[in-house]
Structure 1
Amino acid sequence: MSKRRSSNRAGCLPWVLGGILLLVWFGGDRGEWADTPLSVEQFDPRSPRRPMPDIGEGFVIADLGPQQDSQGTAFAVDRDGTWLTAEHVTNGCDRIGLVASDGIDAISDVFESREADVSVIRSGPLPDFALALTEELPEEGSLGYHMGFPAGNPSVVVSRFLGAAYATRGGPGGQSEPILAWAEGDRLPDFDGPLGGISGGPTFDEQGRVVGVNAASTPRRGRVLTTDPMAILRLVVASAAVDDRGEVADLSTPDLAVQLFQVLLDRGIIRQVYCDVR
């Protein structure tokens, strides 16, 4: 797959993203996809992390055990073929593929964060536009929109921003990582069950900017956790793979978010991502 870098790209962009959601197994025959060698590079920043305020809630992200065949969500952040997803979606995979209208596009280059639950997919399919990232935190109580494929079905989860915090992966003694916490509201369309499969999808603020990557959910407490924007920024900068400003849209109401989601699906800006483990 060739990757072209145009000369008229804008320089720096608004950065951000956060997320972490449990995986769901995928089934069914997706057809043949290339047996492409997968190169995985890992990034662990040495600089101090930004202090995160305490919102009065602690979060523990369960250890899912060894990676297995699964599916999540990915989205385009640069027209030269750079995508974002969750690190737990890509980690431990032997093959990774993005769903296309005519099959699956095999991925050969992944850049994973060791600080937070986010991965950069480099040299992926070339979208006709990309999503804008931001480092700005939303205002407390403002709306957020989590987009992706829970249980393999395209959906938007509406939430309200609670605040920034830390979550511990795997229980006491596990790695602590910066997250944003959201109170889940409506599901559009309405459905029951876990949010597995929405992992790696974008979380939008009301200004239509990506403010997080979907990473995890706490069903009993009705919380959605996303990756801290600055952790995403550090990974994206280190990847040297994004120089696009991205597109934004007014998302002041859930109806507008649903309309945007349909456009992003139709134009292949948000896609399912598959992990194959041998």
Structure 2
Amino acid sequence: MGRTARWRRPEHRPFRMALFSGVAALALGATLATPLAGFAMAEAPPVESQTAPAGLGPKSFADLVERVKPAVVAIKTKAIEVGGGPEEGVPGMPPELSPDDPLYRFFRHFGPPQGRRQKHVTQAQGSGFVITSDGYVVTNNHVVEHATQVEVSFDDGRTLPAKIVGTDKRTDLALLKISDGNKLAHVDWASTSPRIGDWVIAVGNPFGLGGTVTAGIVSARGRDIGAGPYDDFLQIDAPVNRGNSGGPSFDERGQVIGVNTAIYSPSGGSIGIGFAIPAEVAKDVIAALKDKGQVARGWIGVQIQPVTQEIAESLGLKSTKGALVAQPQRGGPADAAGLKSGDVITAVDGQKIDNPRELARRIATLGPGKTADITYLRGGSEKTARLKLGKLPSEKEAATETEDDGVEQGSALAAYGIEVAPASELRGRGGGEGLIVVGIDPNGSAAQKGLQQGDVILEANGRSMKRPGDLSDAIDAVKKEGRKSVLLRVKSQGGTRFVALSVSPAS
């Protein structure tokens, strides 16, 4: 990704002086906003589908835009932030002033009373689109998150207050409700998925300008950008910028194929790499928000990770397809059904699973309370477990306590750039399982595989680790078997995972 480039949520928080777009992207939490346009349409029909033009594309998108634009809205939000207490300094005081400077005493005297945290209003802007004639509006969660007031403006200048019906942080979607007593123009979800190379038209509110249209193609599908556990983004090259968040991407028939939500950019502006939540994902989430105000997802209680080529070789697998169980949660559905660390889940209800993301989406879609048949590999044999899905918890955290005294170095492990010590000795009478990584060479093979100081090696090739010699023995056993890697089960603050460590470290 590089040092300067980064994933960005393209919502727009205008600069305090309401400057133009080149500067507006630089400031957050401003108190002034670029004016929004508004619209209200009486007895307006839904946007009708239109057969895509033949050939390389239409000469113009003007007819399509004229039909869909009345259903696309600009969204402005207000939120109250608290700050400015004594631990945060005095608002407005130049940071370079020292306590003995006369101006420092001036700011302290005339600034807000010390000991009181000051409240201030922040504003932000985004985009959205109406999906029903009675005024349900789709946008991004991050556009309205923490908002105390939401307004929706149409293209003809009319503005309406909006109520937040429900939000879903995991997919970054939100549903709003507006009403002016009339039927509103609205758009429909696409009935089929777009292909790579298909035309895409984005409409939204970049930099607070309102009613802006851009066009491009679908550049890729199934993108994982690390935004959440259900990443499955469309990549588009139709330019989207700050303020486009929550706006629609249309196909040539005027149907919504995606919800614009993120961009890849070194500067905050478009470089032709944007990401949209696919309609097939968004419409199910929005339907759940409309029905219950929240999304209930299925849960089996496992930490999972991809099967790399090295891990597959260590486990004796012929394929890297599937999801590797790093750790079943104690008492969870998978644990109750007998799944263990090292199992590779390959199918759910007979449908093949290629990777962890696919497993997560499949289980989530089934929903809590449903029964599922989980096919998995263990020791080279295929097995099946039937389990009842639980409800995905709202938040799960895992942490590992580490200490750095009582170091015992396994000298045989020096070639791998790693020092370990028994957790039972470092943690005193409280005990602890595994070997704690107490030292690591950043240029060593262990560090190159992602091991860090404080990680706990629980197992090596399925054998529990108690002493540094246990790890050395496991490495020696792998060498005698002619394998290239020893498979470690490692616990860190981010959870439990498997690491395939080469038994022939580079010198």
**How would you bin the TM-score normalised by the shorter chain?**
0.5 to 0.7
Q: Indicate the residue corresponding to 1:196 in structure 2.
A: 242
Q: Indicate the residue corresponding to 2:225 in structure 1.
A: 167
Q: Is the 8 A contact 1:115 1:177 kept in 2?
A: no
- Which structure shows the bigger proportion of residues in helix conformation? 2
Tell me, yes or no, if structure 1 residue 88 matches structure 2 residue 134: no
Displacement of 1:204 in angstroms is 0.1
Q: Is the 8 A contact 1:75 1:83 kept in 2?
A: yes
Q: Indicate the residue corresponding to 1:236 in structure 2.
A: 286
What TM-score results when the alignment is normalised by the length of structure 2? 0.32
The structure whose RCO (Cα within 8 Å, separation 6+) is larger is: 1
Which deviations, in whole Å up to 9, do the C-alpha atoms of 1:158-212 show, x marking residues without a partner?
121122222212xxxx65522111124xx6xxxxxx7101111110012211011
Number of residue-to-residue matches in the alignment: 176
Q: For 2:216, what is the secondary structure of its paired residue?
A: strand
In structure 1, give the amino acid aligned to 2:243.
G
Q: Indicate the residue corresponding to 1:104 in structure 2.
A: 159
In structure 1, give the amino acid aligned to 2:232.
P
Structure 1: segments with no counterpart, 5+ residues: 1-19, 32-65, 188-193, 242-278
In structure 2, give the amino acid aligned to 1:25.
R
Q: For 1:134, what is the secondary structure of its paired residue?
A: coil
Tell me, yes or no, if structure 1 residue 69 matches structure 2 residue 123: yes
Q: Indicate the residue corresponding to 1:144 in structure 2.
A: 200
Aligned CA distance change for structure 1 residues 217 and 127 (closer, same or farther; 3 Å): farther
Which deviations, in whole Å up to 9, do the C-alpha atoms of 1:101-151 show, x marking residues without a partner?
666322223311233122111244554321011252111101101110111
Distance in 2, Cα, partners of 1:151 & 1:29: 8
Distance in 1, Cα, partners of 2:178 & 2:152: 12
Distance in 2, Cα, partners of 1:29 & 1:113: 27
Aligned CA distance change for structure 1 residues 29 and 237 (closer, same or farther; 3 Å): closer
Distance in 2, Cα, partners of 1:137 & 1:214: 16
Q: Indicate the residue corresponding to 1:22 in structure 2.
A: 10
Superposed CA RMSD: 2.8
Aligned CA distance change for structure 1 residues 85 and 29 (closer, same or farther; 3 Å): closer
Distance in 1, Cα, partners of 2:290 & 2:261: 23
Distance in 2, Cα, partners of 1:228 & 1:71: 22
Aligned CA distance change for structure 1 residues 70 and 137 (closer, same or farther; 3 Å): same
Aligned CA distance change for structure 1 residues 165 and 122 (closer, same or farther; 3 Å): same
Q: Is the 8 A contact 2:135 2:184 kept in 1?
A: no
Which aligned segments of 4 or more residues in structure 1 are displaced greater than 6 angstroms?
Answer: none
Q: For 2:287, what is the secondary structure of its paired residue?
A: helix
What TM-score results when the alignment is normalised by the length of structure 1? 0.56
Aligned CA distance change for structure 1 residues 116 and 135 (closer, same or farther; 3 Å): farther
Q: For 2:225, what is the secondary structure of its paired residue?
A: strand
Structure 2: segments with no counterpart, 5+ residues: 1-7, 15-31, 37-79, 82-121, 292-507
Q: Indicate the residue corresponding to 2:235 in structure 1.
A: 181
